[in-house]
Amino acid sequence: MKSILIVDDHADIRRLIRLTLEFEEYDIREASDGETALAIAQEFRPDLVLLDVMMPGQLNGLDVCQRLRQGVPAGQPPRIIMLSARGQASDREAGLQAGADVYLVKPFSPLQLIDCISGLWAAA
């Protein structure tokens, strides 16, 4: 079973993403900030992280993305889909430079998210 970590400071967005993904068999965990996301990722070892860019606390999504890419002690780092309301070319470039596999601009449709995830699984 594939595992997914949803990281967003808005509970309603996490809930909508979870509802979108409930038709597939995924082991899903959630985090509301970067520090919690890293702690969960270290123990949970997700296959995919759906990561908001703008979050409260010491670490934003770009920081978390970089640390996930650098800090995996063994095995493959997770695939990362950055989720953001910031859709400028420079924002997308920053996300990809931080290590994201895909940069998805909010609002996105459930179908867009499913297509992105399916594309990442197919490429693996």
Helix (H, G, I), strand (E, B) or coil at 97: helix
Strand order through the sheet with 48-52: 26-31, 2-7, 48-52, 79-84, 102-105
With left for phi above 0 and alpha for psi between -120 and 50, is residue 8 left, alpha or beta? beta
Quick: pLDDT tens for 4-34. 999 999 999 999 999 999 889 999 999 999 9
User: What's the domain count of the chain?
Assistant: 1
Quick: pLDDT tens for 47-95. 999 999 999 899 999 999 999 988 665 667 899 999 999 999 999 999 9
Domain residue limits at 74: 2-123
Instruction: Answer whether 0.85 is exceeded by the pTM.
Output: yes
Strands (E), the chain: 2-7, 26-31, 48-52, 79-84, 102-105
Quick: pLDDT tens for 102-115. 999 999 999 999 99
CATH number for the domain that contains residue 114: 3.40.50.2300
Q: How far apart are CA 77 and CA 16, in angstroms?
A: 25
